[in-house]
Amino acid sequence: MRTTSILLAILIVFLCSKSSAHKPIVIEGGVSSPEQPYYIEDIDISQVAYHKATHGNLEIWLKFSGKEGQELKIDIGSPKLDSSKPVYYPAVAVLSKKFPPVTVPFNLPVGYGGKIYDTRGQIPKVFYEQFTGTRSWRFEPFELVLPETGDYYIVGYLPEPREGKFWIAVGEREKFTFWDFIKMPEIIVKVRSFHEVFPVGGLLFWVWIIIVLALVGLLVGTVYFFL
């Protein structure tokens, strides 16, 4: 029983302090727009949105409230699929009322301009995300200092071809909650399915299994102790 408790404590500390997996904002969600974006509460927290661009749902719209002088950090990539499928080169438009007019393949909210980050022409690197056990094509990160306090949009899209898969991550600070732990198996299955690999796998999945088994062992030991 004492061994089980120690193992559980070590695993929880590891998961909370060592994990660098992004917290999902959305994984292949529904249609988004300037009127119905996915809202990011804190752009400093490490978070990621996975998007499958299809006809009628080509862009993903994210919205956040920023402060003047705050730094926005964006990481961008696309899943490394089998060799029969192309490498997708996504683009990101950061929209603000302080930015100049910009040409994009979608309608901008009234009064907004943008800064464009286009990955076409880059040579992406293969990135293995050990916590979910997935591989991606990862492009150079993008950083931007916000010019004013107010509302901003981050719009992810594929310039050409318009349909495909990509992901957008923001922030660097890790924030793990107990609810994240409870939802972990579901998240891992969705992320791995997005990358088109077997749904079960990755370091976090097996850590979750070990923690659950440790909890069961702890519970059984406690019940046995009181019998």
- CA neighbor of 142 nearest in space, from 119, 166, 175: 119
For 22-175, CATH gives: 2.60.120.380
Count of beta carbons in the 10 Å neighbourhood of residue 147: 16
Average pLDDT, stretch 145-159? 97
Count of beta carbons in the 10 Å neighbourhood of residue 75: 20
- Say what the pLDDT of residue 200 is: 84
Residue with tokens 């994984």: 27
- Say what the pLDDT of residue 181 is: 74
User: 21 falls in which pLDDT band (50, 70, 90)?
Assistant: low
- CA neighbor of 77 nearest in space, from 42, 125, 20: 125
Instruction: Dump pLDDT digits (tens) for 111-138.
Output: 999 999 999 999 999 999 988 999 999 9
Whole-number mean pLDDT of the chain? 88
Q: 171: exposed, middle or buried (C-beta count within 10 Å: 0-12, 13-18, 19+)?
A: buried
Task: Please give the single-letter amino acid code of residue 212.
Answer: V
Task: Compute the distance between CA of residue 152 and CA of residue 104 in angstroms, rounded to an integer.
Answer: 16
- Say what the pLDDT of residue 227 is: 66
Task: Please give the single-letter amino acid code of residue 175.
Answer: K
Among 54-58, 135-139, 182-186, 189-193, the minimum mean pLDDT is found in 182-186
Domain ranges of the chain: 1-19+176-227, 22-175
Q: How far is CA 125 from the centre of its chain?
A: 18
SS3 content of the chain, % helix, strand, coil (to 5): 25, 35, 40
Given a contact cutoff of 8 angstroms between Cβ atoms, the answer to whether 147 and 99 are in contact is yes
Farthest-apart Cα atoms in the chain, separation: 73
E strands in the chain:
23-27, 38-40, 47-53, 60-66, 71-79, 91-96, 113-118, 125-129, 134-138, 142-145, 150-157, 164-170
- Say what the pLDDT of residue 18 is: 43
Among 88-92, 174-178, 185-189, 195-199, the minimum mean pLDDT is found in 174-178
pTM, whole model, 2 decimals? 0.84
Average pLDDT, stretch 178-183? 77
